[in-house]
Amino acid sequence: MIFPIICIIVGILLSGYATTEYINDCQKVKWQPTEAIVTDMDSYGTSGYGSRHTRHSRTIYIITYNYEVNGIEYTNEIRSEVPSQVGTNINIKYNPKEPSKSTTIIAPDISLFIIILVFSIILIIG
């Protein structure tokens, strides 16, 4: 009796979270595009188990970048599975109302949103 209730609660919370994140990403599409320069890159490894209980690892890169808005320089960082060379330019968007906030998300990921939403519905109905 308790398990179905937990599934419903988790499904509702998960769908609410996914919707909120997708709406936030959609709002970032309206942000001002500019170029930033990669100033530093660090990395760390993660490990876990994949299908058939095989152990796998991956590298996460912490990419620091600088950009300028109205003569003021800002620094931000992202985490990525793809490395980026120091000194290269990357496309970002910054919040025109708060230029210190920026993102490398140029467009929201609708496929991830749909997958999470379908999983949430399965939890709620199932």
What would the mean pLDDT of 103-115 be, rounded to a whole number?
87
* Confidence bin at 112 (pLDDT 50/70/90): confident
Contact 88, 38 (CB under 8 A): yes
CA 87 to chain centre: 23
In the chain, the percentage of residues whose pLDDT exceeds 90 is 61
Q: What is the DSSP letter of 5?
A: H
Cα torsion 115, 116, 117, 123: sign: positive
**Token digits for 60?**
């996460």
**What is the reported pLDDT for 53?**
64
Q: For the whole model, what pTM was predicted?
A: 0.69
